[in-house]
Amino acid sequence: MKIYLVCPQSKTGGPENIHQLCNYFNELGEEAYIYYNPPAPASLYPEFPHIKTTSGIEDSPENLLIIPEILDVSEIRKTAKNIRVAIWWLSYTNACLFGTLHANLTEPDTIHLFHSYYEYAMVRPFLSFTTRWFFVTEHIHDDFLSLQPDQFQEKKEKLVCFHGNKDRITYGICTILNLPTVNLTNLSREEVLYHLQRARLYVDMGFHPGKDHLPREASMCGCIVVTNQCGSAAYHEDVPIDEKVTFEKELLELIPKILEDPKSYYENQATYREFIQSEKETFKENARFFLGQLKKMSDATEPDAK
């Protein structure tokens, strides 16, 4: 069996997750490849040592093609007629934005993989009773998972980090409160690490199209995380914190409370940090279980199978 993972040619959270899964499949001894769309000459993520790329897909029923939810499975099926296809729902929101939601919910004989509870909650009710689905999660980069959040508490500043590309609220609130901010947009991983390790707060008032990396990365850098209740942040299964707001006024009131008593709020998010640290093993368990079930499905469809 060969596994092909279709990946956009970009360096964001979703492509990183795709490379992470491909890398782990190969660690397990599978034959897995990244197929870039559009094509790229080599891996965009050299930090994953077990990545293989390909410019072609062997359209065989023994093989598996994993596509992100932003691609239309009905269009894929026009050329890939025989290979098994799985949709990895990395973002329900992005499927809506890219116009692929309806096709990906209705195409028969498709396996569905859920990156987080948010995607499961939004997609699963529309699938038939016989549809095969699995949780295949991910985890943040080892550069963050290897950190000890407690060690950064002594050097924390009254500084708020946010991501301006998806959050147009936090900067204005912090301006009213006369608090310094850092916009993490377009920064290198090293720069993000530097700023998060000195910031007291990471606030994310974006639309959380999937289980985002930055809140988890911030937490592992010792930040107190505050989110809204949009997308995956609406689900405790994905973002298990109490510090969530609905309206801007709530954020305006919450930030000063946190800065007055940061120790209590930091301790209150200990379970969130433990949850993040457990995600790597959960990811591996999910991937191994999915592969095992995939092979059982293959055995069941062989001509001599009972």
pLDDT confidence tier of residue 306, bands split at 50, 70 and 90: very low
Q: What whole-number distance in Å separates Cα of residue 170 and Cα of residue 181?
A: 9
Chain mean pLDDT for the chain: 95
Q: What secondary structure letter does DSSP report for 153?
A: G
Structure token digits, residue 212: 């985002």
Q: What whole-number distance in Å separates Cα of residue 94 and Cα of residue 91?
A: 5
pLDDT confidence tier of residue 118, bands split at 50, 70 and 90: very high
**Would you give the distance in Å from CA 95 to the centre of its chain?**
14
Sign of CA dihedral 95, 60, 288, 47: negative
Write the pLDDT tens digit of every residue in 193-226: 999 999 999 999 999 999 999 999 999 999 999 9
Span 163-169, average pLDDT: 95
Burial of 57 (0-12, 13-18, 19+ CB in 10 A): middle
Span 141-169, average pLDDT: 96
Domains, the chain, in order of start with CATH, read 2-138 (3.40.50.11930), 142-277 (3.40.50.2000)
* Sheet of strand 224-227, all strands in order from the earlier edge strand to the far edge: 181-183, 157-162, 199-204, 224-227
Write the pLDDT tens digit of every residue in 78-91: 999 999 999 999 99
Residue 53 β-bridge partners: 34
Q: Is residue 303 over pLDDT 90?
A: no
Write the Ramachandran bin of 250: left for phi over 0, alpha for psi from -120 to 50, otherwise beta. alpha
Q: Burial code of 140-158, b = ≥16 C-beta within 10 A, e = fewer?
A: bbeebeebebeebeeebee
Please give the model's pTM, rounded to 2 decimal places.
Answer: 0.94
Q: What whole-number distance in Å separates Cα of residue 58 and Cα of residue 56?
A: 7
Q: Is residue 9 over pLDDT 60?
A: yes
